[in-house]
Chain A
């Protein structure tokens, strides 16, 4: 339930023990290794780039196998887990695997080559098509007295037009004529050859872009067809070979991950400082592992470890329970906490789920979301980040269901519509709390009140952090005064609504006190008259609080939007009336329409919930700008290794 601040540490060990120590650290995933500044380092860049290219090759091999066996893993497939002790491949095995990788990539290149050949042949056949009427080879030789030409003219030419152009001494045949081009065969006596050739050039004559090697176009064409057939056969044979490698796919994945682990190890070795007989590892340590490192690792390998307390430069991570951990990723994409920040996740989680539910606001959609994510959560195994994502949407779904019933929306008014159209009853699912369409004003006020609560909570956290840092003046001058004003307004409104004078008087009192504090202390950094002036000017900040509070009206707007669109879908679906056909139309329209509405509104709810946290909530107290803890560990692609020894 807190921010984990990593402890700076360094470890000195003898060089012979470097490998086992690094491997142990990698499996524990507990330390971020920093580059050693004082000592000389080695640079295994060449090894790393060799490993890189091998990783790329094996990934391509995996892709190729998956493509030809049509067995690609999806986003919702379980992640594969393995105990980390099983990750050491022996050298002989890795060699045979690499050979297989090369074999597969060769097959893939061959297939690619065949495909290119086929497309060339197909292009040629396309051109040949216009010469199929010619029963002589295209590159036919001249006779003793005549010049023989085959080729094409742009545009359409009729026989009359052409003979008019060429004169009657030339024998020609039109092989094919269409709008774009006319293909012709000509026999020209040598005597007039030059003159005719000039005419031909003028009208755009060109020779065919292929040689038919003393075969008629017809023969050539069927030869191409046969070649294509052969090539296709070869391709399917090669594809079959690749498909047969499917059983090795698992091992190639493991091989690729094994290479990744080695790469990470070498990248860490780069950072180590070296002396003649020892190595020095500097970095940050997860405090949870302090004892393991100090007592077990250091003793086992005879290394010297020194651990100090975290400071402002320490990288950070979150550590939260089942309920709050899912929203950590939301906070992380905003910013990691600074040295002085508290962990916002436990409080934010509650607001996050509530706001999401209010905006998605349909019990039917909420149930679908909660059941889908709950199923993924409980019956499948995923890596941590995905697990948290599904868990977050599970909680959001539960909250959505709750608010859906509060607003009386279950796939919009589907229950009422079905009852009215198909059973002729006036049964209706009554909202547990309010009807959003007829009483939007109540909902609007409620949304803004929720917003004010979140803003006040945010300010309280700020107050707490400033107080902890002993910045009392800043705490009172920039936070407490505004809290008094906002809480005062709230109490006054409650008093006024309940018509209890004493409560509204307390509210007014707090409000006035807050305003006075703003005026007197708002400009606390200035001196003399400027101080009061600064205070009056800072009273203007009220506008930003108002706009923040109004921003929460989106809770109402998006909440209504989901319901109204769902109702429209139900209206459209029930237009065909009752009966079997009407029912069928209703089901089809409903499924399509609600699926669309679900997609659009879940997107809206997600985006706007995030925005409320980032812009309205975090801006009140969260400094951010911390560094994320990225431990030296097992960052693999296919198989997630975990460590049994804790």
Chain B
């Protein structure tokens, strides 16, 4: 039962952050495709914006792997009491929820940033910086989740 809760935590971390990233990358890519139709040479610059909302999924994945590493699925020792399992579940929540919403918000920022690249390619770094403003909150969620997971005894 304890293992079940730990795995549930890993699952929601990777799934929710992944859903967010998938949506975010999707939104950004849809807008980017519109620009590539007119000017395929901008693909490289646009790719950066398309990929930015993808990091949340990665953070969720890292947290999930850390849980798996600590709970005996990929080595380490298996927890025995339900309390420990619930702790892992709680530790996964920040990146699951934070990742989900920040990735979608970031997707929208990237999607409008595509306009900057379409009209003023020289200013593309400003679009990227705007997107990274959102990224901070995913990073904070990731740090908190990470610190929690590795410190559960």
Contact = CB atoms under 8 A, between A and B. Distances in A.
A557 B133 contact: no
Interface string B121-152: 01111101101110110011011001100100
Contacts of B133: 611, 615
B51 interface: yes
A539 interface: no
Nearest to B147: A440
A441 B147 contact: yes
Nearest to A613: B129
B40 to A, nearest CB: 13
A502 interface: no
A557 B94 CA distance: 14
B56 to A, nearest CB: 11
A464 interface: no
A610 interface: yes
Interface string A606-623: 011011001100000000
Interface stretch (B4-12, B31-39, B57-65, B79-87): B57-65
B74 interface: yes
Interface string A549-573: 0110110111011001100100100
A333 B125 contact: yes
Contacts of A330: 125
Contacts of A89: none
Contacts of B61: 565, 568
B125 A334 contact: yes
Given A561-B62, A564-B65, A611-B132, A604 B55 contact: yes
By CB atoms of chain B within 10 A, which of A438, A558, A568, A607 has the most?
A: A607
Interface string B80-122: 0000000000000000000000000000000000000000001
A607 B125 CA distance: 9
B84 to A, nearest CB: 19
Contacts of A542: none
Contacts of B58: 561, 565, 600
B1 interface: no
B66 interface: yes
Nearest to A567: B65
Contacts of B19: none
Contacts of B17: none
A445 interface: no
Contacts of A600: 51, 54-55, 58
B51 A556 contact: no
A444 interface: yes
A437 B65 CA distance: 12
A437 to B, nearest CB: 7
Given A551-B136, A554-B136, A560 B146 contact: yes
Contacts of A551: 136
A438 B139 contact: no
B59 A561 contact: yes
Contact of A437 (B54, B122, B129, B150): B150
Interface in A437-468: 437-438, 440-441, 444
B47 to A, nearest CB: 9
Contacts of A611: 128-129, 132-133, 135
A607 B140 CA distance: 17
Contact of B122 (A333, A440, A604, A614): A333
Interface in A525-560: 550-551, 553-554, 556-558, 560
B52 interface: yes
B62 A565 contact: yes
Nearest to B132: A611
A32 B52 CA distance: 38
Nearest to A438: B150
Given A557-B143, A600-B58, A607 B52 contact: yes
Contacts of A430: none
Contact of B48 (A556, A603, A614): A603
B128 A607 contact: yes
Contacts of B123: 333
B51 A603 contact: yes
Contacts of B66: 564
Contacts of B135: 554, 607-608, 611
Given A437-B150, A438-B150, A444-B143, A564 B132 contact: no
Nearest to A568: B65
Contacts of B129: 610-611, 614-615
B147 A610 contact: no
A333 B59 CA distance: 29
A562 B103 CA distance: 19
Contact of B143 (A437, A556, A603): A556
A615 to B, nearest CB: 7
Contacts of A560: 62, 146
B74 A571 contact: yes
Nearest to B52: A607
B142 A608 contact: no
Interface string A193-212: 00000000000000000000
A553 B51 contact: no
A327 to B, nearest CB: 12
30 contacts: A330-B125, A333-B122, A333-B123, A333-B126, A438-B150, A440-B146, A440-B147, A441-B147, A553-B139, A553-B143, A557-B142, A557-B146, A560-B62, A560-B146, A561-B59, A561-B62, A564-B66, A565-B58, A568-B61, A571-B74, A600-B55, A600-B58, A603-B51, A607-B48, A607-B132, A607-B135, A610-B125, A610-B129, A611-B129, A611-B135
Given A330-B125, A554-B139, A565-B58, 10 more contacts: A333-B124, A333-B125, A560-B62, A600-B54, A603-B51, A603-B52, A607-B128, A610-B125, A611-B128, A611-B133
Interface of B: 48, 51-52, 54-55, 58-59, 61-62, 65-66, 74, 122-126, 128-129, 131-133, 135-136, 139-140, 142-143, 146-147, 150
Closest 7 CB pairs of A and B: A611-B132, A333-B125, A557-B139, A564-B62, A554-B139, A557-B143, A614-B129
